[in-house]
Amino acid sequence: MPLLISFTASFIVCFLIYRNFGLVIKFENGAQNSPYEIAKLITGISGTILGFLLTAVAMLTAVMDRKLVENMRKTGHYRVFIIDCFVNIFLFLIVIGLGVICLFFANPYLSYILYGILFFTSAAILMLIEQGRRFILIFTKI
């Protein structure tokens, strides 16, 4: 369910950008808002968040012997939580991949890739908010 909500919200974000700038975004040459700078920034942030997510999964597996985690495994919440974590990790990997691919293209294809980066970034961040809420619930109960 969080994935569906985040994809829907990401689609709305991309649609609003499309409505404002059109399908092919016109960038100024050499400006700080060039698509390469935007992709580089988003890719760097995505890589950092990806590392934190992997660390969080490792922390959760380190406390497997706790009563709360045992109860989560019995009720199926642990499986859902881990699957959502890996889906979010995969979304950030897609963003990083698109950021690298972005380096090899120019407009109009660059705009299409940038829309993909924005779509998957906003979806991953919205899922990250839900993941953060779940982590807080888990680690405050341990």
Res. 40: pLDDT tops 80: yes
What is the count of structural domains for the chain?
1
Does 58 map to a domain?
yes
In whole angstroms, what is the distance from residue 6 CA to residue 16 CA?
A: 15
**Residue 44: HSE in the Cβ half-sphere, 13 Å Cα cutoff:** 6
Question: What residue numbers bound the domain in which 80 lies?
Answer: 36-141
* Model pTM score: 0.80
Does 21 map to a domain?
no
Res. 114: pLDDT tops 70: yes
Does 74 map to a domain?
yes
Q: Distances from the Cα of 36 to the Cαs of 32, 123, 127, in angstroms?
A: 9, 21, 25
